[in-house]
Structure 1
Amino acid sequence: MSKNKLSERDICTKFITPAIQQAGWDIQTQIREEVSFTKGRIIVRGKMHARGEQKRADYILYYKSNIPIAIIEAKDNSHSVGAGMQQALNYAETLGVPFVFSSNGDAFLLHDRTGNATQTEQELALSEFPSPEELWQRYCDWKGLQSEQARTTVEMPYYDDGSGRAPRYYQANAINNTIEAVARGQQRILLVMATGVGKTYTAFQIIWRLWKSGTKKRILFLADRNILVDQTKNNDFKPFGPAMTKISKRQIDKSYEIYLSLYQAVTGNEEDKNIYKQFSPDFFDLIVIDECHRGSAAEDSAWREVLTYFNTATHIGLTATPKETKEVSSIHYFGDPVYSYSLKQGIEDGFLAPYKVVRIDIDKDLQGWRPHKGQVDKYGQVIEDRVYNQSDMDRYLVLEKRTELVAQKITEFLSATDPYAKTIVFCDDIDHAERMRQALVNLNPARVKENRKYVMRITGDEMEGKAELDNFINPEERYPVIATTSKLMTTGVDAQTCKLVVLDQHIKSMTEFKQIIGRGTRINEDYGKYWFTIMDFKKATELFADKDFDGEPVVIYEPKGDESPVPPDEVPEIILDENGNPIKQVKGAADENTSPDISIDDESDTKRIKYVLGDVTVYVVSERVQYYGPEGKLITESLKDYTRSTVRKDFATLDEFLRSWTSAERKAALIHELEQHGVLLEALAEEVGKDFDAFDLICHVAFDQPPLTRRERAEQVKKRNYFAKYGEQARQVLESLLEKYQDTGIENIEDIKILTLDPFKDMGTASELVSAFGGKPAYIAALQELEQHLYA
């Protein structure tokens, strides 16, 4: 067979792989073929979802098993040598790979992204493919890894537990970029990674490789919640075993190498401060700070004290939301991120769950409410005469019927979807969270009778509710189902199966908004969690339109004088109420189980006058559903309009679609391709009609053609009586295939395995039935003829 008749896979096997191996690359450890490095974006419409296309590289080459340094995109020989280059460059940018190759089996085209080559692109003969050592040397020059120690550090492999688990591509990028920065001597390092993408696992692999290489011998991991430290110690960090300990107020043992600690455990009052001062300032080589945008809210600024004390150590900050204000800057202290992985990118890659937004506007929120002269609330307080609007609701004015309406909309949504879907309701304060709990309990008597913990208030002031937090986030525990909260669950809550996030809270901080949205972004396929819904009652989701929501962090910090950089909480964040009064926060040292940014019982709440009214009627003014669109923006669009625009991107005209449909050897492949582009046919059938197959749904919705049901199409075929030319057994098979089409659609009858099922298995074995047509090619031809008659 001539070379230009070979398939792409044959070109790889016969020409590209041998050329790479001849250059000295090991097929077992250095060459990986057909590597899918994304999962495919989850596309949601209605109650349905589908996966988009995965990104797949033909070859990724590694010098060591953990460092990708080259990518090759292969094409068959009917293409030019460089035909795959643009696709390969796209992949290389994502993977952070410097050397990019395209090949059609005749030669290689090399694109050098390092900027160090005399020629960016050059063609190489098959025999001229570079060796691993040559590319590794060029890689090290590019990364500035000159010393032997630097290379030893970078070459240290990942921890491997034998399960086959390996870092995802973005985790590998984050780990490698961080370790390379350490190897070059960088002392302050920032990693920005969206909530739910595995920051702790990434931190573990960074620490493991630095520790195993001997580059860093004693390491401190700082977090600001007890649950986070314990989860880290018992899960991702477990391989450190006896080398690891958790610092407590009662134990200081300097014989360990890996230390985990709360800020609160080593800061606060003078006695607590003495704990970290029992270590010498140069004791730790490396400090990793989790959620580094926050830090302790104690007045003595815990970050500055701890990190300044251990200022000779390398400091690595991890956050999903770097804080950048005129007073506070993550980047001013840590430097520009060595790697960023955003929520938008995580959703695009299919590693994070997309969301749809149900925006509900209530009349009194939008139109306002004003008391009549001398009106008193249910407790006899004379209500201040002014217009109360959305910013006052639940903070200064409590309309009990509004709380009941919000609870009713939540209950209706869960009843229509999944009554046991884990739900977090974010309220303005603890009082609001308790009122919401009561309203939800009263609206769900049957569920609460099943288990009183169906609805729980989980706030920082009450032990019983806090004790249920672990059960709420545990996918295997059904209860609690609904958690009402204020601040306690905004961060550090790994709620993998949370399917509904309700926003009935005033949210003005972008950092807080991102953290709250992060409660729903985890995917858990084992429990059917692929996407989540945000139900917004207070316009919080307008922040999605803010350019800062998913943009790169920008430094706007204004240092005063010549002071040296300090961690972000040098100026403690002061949270103000609507009147500009500071809300008292709990000192970090008070309770190891309490996050320092949580107000146990806001002092201003007790001072703030709240008017409570039980007789003011409220109603929903508008309700709309918005979907996460392909560009990362929320779109308000009907399923039909979305389908029409998506199909017409692939097929500009009806004739173009008909040609593709007719020429497709398997209609199921074309249907799958459309679904990967976001056409959710199952959801469309729910809306248009379940009796239509994919062909008629698309022709009707995208091209305004009158549809035929599957039964109508089957009846038309029967009237033509073209089966008569076949023998009895073959005719019986075709008639049964037609019945199957009528019941279930075209995709099922195209799979030859259908011949092993009822009613076919009663007619004979699959091989016997195929033989009735004269063999498999004749059976396939008969099936294609049946399809031609169906869609004539």
Structure 2
Amino acid sequence: MGGKRTVSAFVPPTLPADVQPADPEEISELQEALDGHRRALAESRVKLSETSDRLEAERRARTEAEELIASAQRAKSAYAAQIEDLTAQVTELRAAHQQRYDRERVQPRRIASAAREAIVERAQSPAPLNEVQARKKIDAMLRKSGWLIQSKAEANPRAGQGVAIEEFTLATGRADYVLYVDGKIVGVIEAKREGTALSGALAQNERYAAGVLKEHAMAVWRRDEPFAFRYASTGAETYFLNRVDPHARSREVFSFHRPETIAAWMKRADEEPDVPTFRAALRTSMPLLETHGLRMAQVDAITGLEGSLATDRPRALIQMATGAGKTFTAVTETYRLLRHAGARRVLFLVDRNNLGRQAHAEFDKYRTPDENRKLTDLYNVDMLGRSGLQDTSAVVISTIQRMYALLKGEELQDGQDGDEPEPKETPGEAPAAQEGAPPANASNLDETYTADEPITVEYNADVPIESFDVIVIDECHRSIYGLWRGVLDYFDAHLVGLTATPTRQTQGFFDHNMVAQYTYEQAVADGVNVDFDIVRLNTTIREDGGAKIEKGTTVRIPLPPGVRVADATPLCRQEAFAEAPPPGRSSVTGPVLS
């Protein structure tokens, strides 16, 4: 066919006249079938995706497992080599140890006497107390401290000022002892066998505090703190926690406090709720220091000490050069503690009689910075004497040996340690005693306390552990060690050490809490002390080979200035021997110390 065809318009075909309309039911069935196929397709796709992910995860896990196995094989090889190395070293050490053992078995090495005594002491020490034995010892400690002990069945809180009731029932358990003072529940004691950590026992007391039964609720002194005074003890070791203190910290004590002491604490807490305890007053009641009349070293010492006391550090050490005013610093701080912190009594402890007299003279001439009055007009400052501790004494001055005698219950004599003047000889009058013998009115401490081992003390009801709030220890590098340390461990008080030359042992005893340091060099630089020069002399004795003293010869050694043989304490005698002049020095005659 040739030519062109042109379409001018689209003409749809005509529907057949005999077409029937579709059946709705058939269409619905087809639609459901279609939806079913679609769901099957979607599920197939999901399963295919999960299968692919699982296969990928298995592949990654297999790879990681192979890497771990390889790493373990490498570590095993390294450890095997290390074990082989260590085995060789152990073999060498065993061989060396066996050789040393064989040598020492044939010729044993000598053991130092101190180490041998320590071994013997450990071997002879008794077995630790069990809880039943600890309870018996705690009972004895309570009775010595003035407490009545009663069973729960025979309880009578009004039988005395202080009553300790055993096996007291609480909602949270059974307390070993509950303490009543003036009919009020004030404290609790938890008894443990010796060797038990007492920190856990104090935590057990905390659990008791929330469990006072309703029948005893009216007898509680403080509803918010039923057991304000808490103890934990093994009979050999006792810890105390005073919950009246806003910042309470547990501390070790020698024994239990007396009921009258706890009653006084309760009275203060009721009357002064803002500063309920002495330790609280140390934090909040100390005013700014009046620095007029004080050297900067003294200001630093007092400020540092009060900062330590405010944080309840039990021990503090002040290093101050000789002649820089240690005693005046101690007197100033003592006045501030008495006046502003409410300290009941302060002990000034020395180890020589002349130092005690010097300290008393310093207290006697001290004038208060606020009222310009003599301190001794406001507070009683006493030397420890025949009458022992006086309730009226605010400051007690004593040698550590005399305090030990007081704790031992021995009768003290006035005189050298007291306020009486030393006896003087009159012309033409025979001496009261031979040279080197103690005067008739002096205590016999020199002859009595010359033991070769540290002293031990027992509880003395006339001198309870709470007798002093603060103890100032003069020349503490001499006093706190050797025979007399037990005296310091007896009292529940803050310890303040004064020294010009602290040793390592001294710093360790005071927990390395040196609150102020003023050395001799600083004192010289400030013009407080004067420097010195050393003069060396050569003598014929030194140049010709020295001198010899035959065994058994009595050597005359000078005592410190102002100290007589009768006044010299054992420590003073030891120091006199230690300071004997070397050969080549001119001989000095003096009293004979034998």
Same fold (TM over 0.5): no
Greater relative contact order (Cα < 8 A, sep 6+): 1
Larger Rg computed on CA atoms? 2
Report the TM range for the smaller structure's normalisation: 0.3 to 0.5
TM-score with structure 2 length normalisation?
0.37
